[in-house]
Each structure stands twice: as structure tokens, then as C-alpha cells.
């Protein structure tokens, strides 16, 4: 009785095979599959099928799935193995994309076997979790809504993308593209740039004092920002060479909670902040770490760790010198309870290290792994405690304030992050402090900064634009098409495409449309809405936009042709 297992990638197939027993490799059509006990474990290389149409031009609404040319040998091999299989097991990643990959393979290469397939669910490729997944297989039909939502998402993206992009290409005679997520994301960047361009810098003055107590100097700042030059000069003149008097001392403890566990967006943002990695590269590295069984599945929205044996993971991490002291400290705790976040994902928990150790990581791979480990360890610590000292000093009736910070309990800051201390001399209310200098600095108001990887990902997540898996790709596409620079500055082409969309296809830039579609996709996944209804609505929206575009094609062509003039 042959059991055919479908995996998403070859590395995952090998991990599963080694977890199930002593495997052997069988060569079929030049494709090496894994045989162990009564299992034959085959694999894809991501999607083996993509959407296409026989129609040229636009509009296009009749689409179909076809094999990707480079995938023919993989498809042929899976198809041949499936003829002798009596049991089918879907072991692709448990999310929309993984379910779509398996769904298409099972219906096209395995004689429409999806409905009789079993589901193996796991969030890491450790031996224990794989064996648990294969001992608790469920009917795949239970998750058909996940597949239908994923298929519908692909259909929507294709219908919007192919039609709008071909319209732009037709008008410009150049390779351009736009889509239902790409459009609003470009709009964010363009509209921020317009704000920056329209911003008028207004002057203001910050007045600082250099003070001294027992020959120990410290800084203080006038409590208000001054928007009038004459007023700033008056304050400086009145306070110069006049000593200050300590009027008030406010000392308080600030409790800083540990960070929550990583989900994908949090990891991508932190990797950009600390390592200057773009989102796509971070995801690529995280996926490799997952396939090496070093971390759990990274494509997750969850900030909640699973209820697993944390002690064993931390004990294993203690064998790495970088984490030894921190891990041993945690192992002394009687109760290892993480500080979870609020965001959850029904498919996968937050990202965590599995405890499996590898010495074969590149420098940048280790840095991403290190971020994940330190974040994981930090979640088990108590709040850090900072003593904040604010001193108010009266100089000729003007109040200047100075702040000091002291770490009372470092806690998780020793695991993940740093906090800079700032000391002040010992001061008491009523004491006189010497005035060394009063300095007025003219500055100018600044517009909001341009987006970066971190801030744009956060906004896309907040506005429900794209998915945790596709947001990085959308940003990369905007750069690849020449709409924005790698520094997120819009190009002339980007402005023109945005302007065309804003005038003739305004609904495509609409966040409301995108949010509505995301809600409908959730309804499909839950089984309360039919995919055909959503596709029908999308077809209607695209037709309206295309009709306006065609009516104004000559004007649009002129706009696009003038870009390089």
C-alpha cells in the first residue's frame, strides 16, 4: 500500500523522509524521490502550475492553470508515482500558498485526488513534530476553504494584473505593470513624496543651557520650543551669566515589557533596522533556516508561541557560547512563560528556534538566526526597570529641564537591545547650579520621512494590503519596474503611472476595494462565500476601469511618451 507524500520543497521532503525512518533515494525521470517504509515522498519546487490565457490583448477573464515549463519532469514523476498510490498525504506548507501548490498537484498530476487526501500539519521540520503530524493526519477536505481562498487570490491578482498591465503596455509600448496591491502601495509612496515636496520649512529655535554642579557639567533644555527669533534672543540675553536654581526633581521608575515573539513582518522590520536587509532577503534567509529545521515556519502573522517544551530548546541553545549565560539564567526559572503578543495566526505560531544547532550558516544567515534566538529568549524575561530622573531648573523665571536615566534592572535588555544611560550630578531642590553657557539653535520643521522597508511593511500590514508572503515581492516589483528607487523615492515614471491610475482607474488605488477583497477571501476560507461571486465582482470592476482607460487611451499614451522628454 503506497502512500504518496507531496512536499513543497526538496529539502522539506528529505527532512520528512529522515524523520519517518531510514530512507532510500529512487531516481524517476532524473528526479530523486525518497522512499521510506510504505511512503514515497515527492516534492515540488514552489508552484508547478501558473495561470495563463490563450487570448492576446485585453480584457482577459478566461484563464486556466498550466504547468510551468521547467516543472514538467517533477510533474511527470509525481504523476507516475500517483498511479500506484492508495493514500495521498499533503505535507506542503500549511498556509494558502502551500495549499494551492498541493491542490493543483493533486487535481492535475494525481487524477483529481485532493478530496481523498490526508493533511500533515507541522510548524517546524524537527523529527518530533513531523512524527506527531504523521500520527495525527486529518482529511484534507477540512481545509478546502484554504485552497479555494488561495486559488481565488491568484485569480484576482491575475485578472487585475494582466488586464491593467496590458493596458499600460499597449498605451506606452514599454513593459509596465500594475495590480490591485501594487497600485495602493505605489499610492502610499507617491502621496508621501507629494507631502514632502509641498512641505514649507518653518524656523523654530531650541534653547539649551550648559550647567555645572561641583565641576560636573550637564545639559538642560528650555521647556518650550520657540517659534519667534526675537523671543529666543530675549531668553538668551536674560539668562546669560545667570545661575539656575533647582526647582523640582521628579524621580520615577519606568517598567519596560519584553518584546513579543517574532512574526514575519516583525522579523523583516527588525532585520531592516538592525541589519539593513530588505524584506525579500530576510524571508529568503528565514525560509532556509526553516528548511534546515533551525526555526519554525516563518510565514506567520502570529506573535504567540506554541505550548511546547521551552526548557529543552533553551537547554540546547545553552551549548552555543553566544547564548550560554543567558540560557543558563533562564533555565534556573521555575516557570518559563513567554510574553506573547496579541496577533494570532490559525495556521502557524510565532517564529521560534527549534534548538537544533548548525555550524553551516553564512555570516548574514547567522545574524538573522541570532535575531530570532535573542528575541525568543528575551520573551521569557521580566520587565526591565529604568529610573528616570527629570530635573526642572529655574533661570530668571525660565524653566530648563534635564533628564537622567539609570538602569535599575537590565533584564531582557541584556538579551535583546540596549538602553543608553545618562547620568546627572547629585542635585537637591533649592540648590544653585552654575550657568556655563546659553545657546540658541535655529532649526526648521521637517516633513515626514520617506518610507523605508520597515515603515512601509508596517503600513501595508496595518491596511491589510497583500499578505505576509507577498508584501516584500510587491515592494521589489515597484523597484524593478522603475516606479521607485531602492531608497523609496518615486521616479518620474512612478508619478505618471500613479497619475494615470488616479484619474482613470481610481478604484484600483482604493484601500477600501483591497480591504473588501481581503474580507471576501476570509469568507471563502471559512466557507460562507463562493469564489465565483468574488471573481464576478472583480471582473465588473476591471471592465469599468478598462473602459475609462480605452476612452482616454490617446491622452494616456501622450503622458507616457513624454516621460523621457
Active site residues: 297
d(Cα 257, Cα 279) in Å, to the nearest integer?
Answer: 26
The distance of Cα 463 from the centroid of its chain, to the nearest Å, equals 13
Closest CA to 187 of 514, 469, 423, 432: 514
d(Cα 43, Cα 7) in Å, to the nearest integer?
Answer: 4
d(Cα 208, Cα 400) in Å, to the nearest integer?
Answer: 8
Per-residue DSSP letters for 292-350?
TTSB--S--------SS-HHHHHHHHTTSGGGHHHHHHHHT-S-------S---SS---
Residue 33 · residue 40 · CB < 8 Å: yes
* Residue the block writes with cell 509641498: 198
Question: Exposure of 206 by Cβ count < 10 A (0-12 exposed, 13-18 middle, 19+ buried)?
Answer: middle
Three-state DSSP class for 5? Answer: strand
Residue 50 · residue 20 · CB < 8 Å: no
φ/ψ of 175, rounded to 5, equals -80, 105
Peptide linkage before 503 cis (omega within 30 of 0): no
Consecutive H or E run containing 344:
none
Distances (CA, A) of 418 to 9, 43, 384, 405, 411: 39, 44, 11, 13, 11
Residue 539 · residue 159 · CB < 8 Å: yes
Provide the strand spans (E) within 337-458: 384-395, 398-409, 432-444
Q: What residues pair up with 549 in beta bridges, in sequence order?
A: none
d(Cα 236, Cα 177) in Å, to the nearest integer?
Answer: 58
The distance of Cα 296 from the centroid of its chain, to the nearest Å, equals 16
Cell of 498: 500613479
Amino acid at each position: 500500500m503506497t502512500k504518496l507524500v507531496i512536499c513543497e520543497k526538496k529539502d522539506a521532503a528529505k527532512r520528512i523522509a529522515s524523520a519517518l525512518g531510514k530512507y532510500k533515494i529512487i531516481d524517476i525521470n532524473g528526479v530523486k524521490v525518497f522512499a521510506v517504509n510504505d511512503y514515497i515522498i515527492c516534492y515540488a519546487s514552489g508552484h508547478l502550475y501558473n495561470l495563463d490565457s490563450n487570448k492576446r490583448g485585453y480584457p482577459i477573464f478566461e484563464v486556466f492553470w498550466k504547468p510551468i515549463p521547467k516543472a514538467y519532469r517533477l510533474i511527470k514523476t509525481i504523476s507516475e508515482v500517483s498511479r500506484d498510490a492508495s493514500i495521498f498525504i499533503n505535507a506542503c506548507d500549511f498556509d494558502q500558498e502551500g495549499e494551492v501548490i498541493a491542490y493543483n498537484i493533486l487535481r492535475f498530476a494525481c487524477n483529481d485526488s485532493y478530496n481523498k487526501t490526508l493533511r500533515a500539519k507541522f510548524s517546524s521540520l524537527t523529527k518530533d513534530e513531523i512524527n506527531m503530524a504523521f500520527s495525527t493526519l486529518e482529511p484534507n477536505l477540512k481545509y478546502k476553504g484554504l485552497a479555494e481562498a488561495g486559488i481565488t487570490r491568484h485569480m484576482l491578482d491575475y485578472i487585475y494584473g494582466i488586464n491593467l498591465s496590458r493596458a499600460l503596455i499597449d498605451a506606452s509600448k514599454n513593459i509596465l505593470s500594475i495590480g490591485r496591491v501594487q497600485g495602493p502601495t505605489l499610492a502610499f509612496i507617491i502621496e508621501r513624496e507629494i507631502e514632502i515636496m509641498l512641505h514649507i520649512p518653518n524656523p523654530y529655535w531650541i534653547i539649551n543651557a550648559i550647567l555645572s554642579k561641583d565641576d560636573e557639567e550637564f545639559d538642560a533644555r528650555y521647556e518650550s520650543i520657540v517659534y519667534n527669533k526675537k523671543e529666543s534672543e530675549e531668553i538668551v540675553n536674560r539668562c546669560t551669566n545667570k545661575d539656575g536654581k533647582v526647582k523640582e526633581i521628579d524621580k520615577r521608575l519606568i517598567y519596560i515589557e519584553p518584546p513579543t515573539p517574532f512574526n514575519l513582518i516583525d522579523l523583516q522590520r527588525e532585520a531592516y533596522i538592525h541589519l539593513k536587509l530588505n524584506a525579500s532577503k530576510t524571508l529568503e534567509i528565514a525560509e532556509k533556516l526553516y528548511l534546515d529545521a533551525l526555526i519554525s515556519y516563518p510565514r506567520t502573522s502570529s506573535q504567540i508561541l506554541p505550548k511546547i517544551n521551552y526548557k529543552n530548546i533553551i537547554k540546547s541553545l545553552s551549548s552555543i557560547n553566544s547564548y550560554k549565560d543567558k540560557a543558563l539564567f533562564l533555565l534556573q526559572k521555575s516557570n518559563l512563560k513567554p510574553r506573547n503578543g496579541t496577533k494570532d495566526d490559525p495556521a502557524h505560531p510565532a517564529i521560534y528556534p527549534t534548538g537544533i544547532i548548525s555550524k553551516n550558516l553564512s555570516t548574514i544567515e547567522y545574524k538573522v538566526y541570532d535575531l530570532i534566538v535573542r528575541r525568543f529568549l528575551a520573551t521569557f524575561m521580566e520587565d526591565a526597570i529604568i529610573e528616570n530622573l527629570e530635573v526642572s531648573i529655574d533661570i530668571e523665571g525660565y524653566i530648563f529641564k534635564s533628564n537622567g536615566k539609570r538602569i535599575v534592572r537590565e533584564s531582557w535588555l541584556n538579551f535583546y537591545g540596549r538602553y543608553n544611560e545618562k547620568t546627572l550630578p547629585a542635585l537637591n531642590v533649592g540648590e544653585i547650579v552654575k550657568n556655563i553657557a546659553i545657546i540658541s539653535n535655529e532649526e526648521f520643521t521637517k516633513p515626514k520621512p520617506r518610507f523605508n522597508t520597515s515603515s512601509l511593511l508596517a503600513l501595508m500590514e496595518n491596511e491589510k494590503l497583500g499578505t505576509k508572503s507577498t508584501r516584500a515581492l510587491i515592494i521589489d516589483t515597484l523597484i524593478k519596474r522603475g516606479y521607485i528607487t531602492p531608497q523609496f523615492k518615486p521616479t518620474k515614471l512612478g508619478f505618471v503611472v500613479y497619475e494615470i491610475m488616479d484619474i482613470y482607474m481610481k478604484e484600483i488605488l482604493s484601500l477600501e476595494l483591497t480591504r473588501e477583497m481581503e474580507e471576501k477571501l476570509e469568507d471563502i476560507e471559512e466557507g460562507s462565500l463562493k469564489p465565483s461571486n468574488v471573481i464576478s465582482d472583480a471582473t465588473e470592476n476591471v471592465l469599468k476601469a478598462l473602459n475609462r482607460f480605452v476612452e482616454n487611451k490617446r491622452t494616456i499614451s501622450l503622458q507616457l511618451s513624454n516621460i523621457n522628454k
